[in-house]
Structure 1
Amino acid sequence: MASTSPSPSPRWFTSSYSNNGGDCVEVATNLAAAQGAVPVRDSKAPGGPVLELHAAAFSSFVAGVKAGGFRSA
């Protein structure tokens, strides 16, 4: 019988750029290597639904944000 290791638990965090306005998302990037996905959830509803983004897509999104590609008008 093969043994399987338990899945790691998500370690949720909010971006330091979020300015504590309450309209934030939390991400658990610690799961990217193990599961190939980055879970994302609403910080106001931690028990609510979780969106899982492919790790490479999430990485591209973060790079775009850092490059200023999503600035508000």
Structure 2
Amino acid sequence: MSNDLSTAKWFKSSRSGSTKECVEVAFLNDGVGVRDSKNPTGPALIFTPSEWCAFTAGLEHGRFDHA
């Protein structure tokens, strides 16, 4: 994967509210980028489409919920 993040359109979840402690996501040509909203020029994680789908499916099914 070779993504140019300089033109990425980053966004926060609508559930983030007004706090600054959020992650931002960008849909890229061949993956999905995730970065810390407090450090927009810092590093970003890049996931393949299948990795992103597995992650979001896990979220939807409560796989990462903690009691």
TM-score range, shorter chain: 0.7 to 0.9
Distance, in Å, in 1 between the alignment partners of 2:62 and 2:13 is 15
Which residue of 2 is the match for residue 12 of structure 1?
Answer: 10
- Which runs of 5 or more residues in structure 2 are unaligned? none
Distance, in Å, in 2 between the alignment partners of 1:18 and 1:72 is 19
Runs of 4+ in 1 over 4 A off after TM superposition: none
Q: Structure 1 residue 70 and structure 2 residue 64: aligned?
A: yes
Q: Under a length normalisation based on structure 1, what TM-score does the superposition of the two structures give?
A: 0.71
Question: Secondary structure of the residue that 2:46 maps to in structure 1?
Answer: strand
1:28 maps to a residue whose letter is A
Q: Once superposed, what is the RMSD of the aligned Cα atoms?
A: 1.9
Question: Secondary structure of the residue that 2:34 maps to in structure 1?
Answer: strand
Q: Under a length normalisation based on structure 2, what TM-score does the superposition of the two structures give?
A: 0.76
Larger Rg: 1
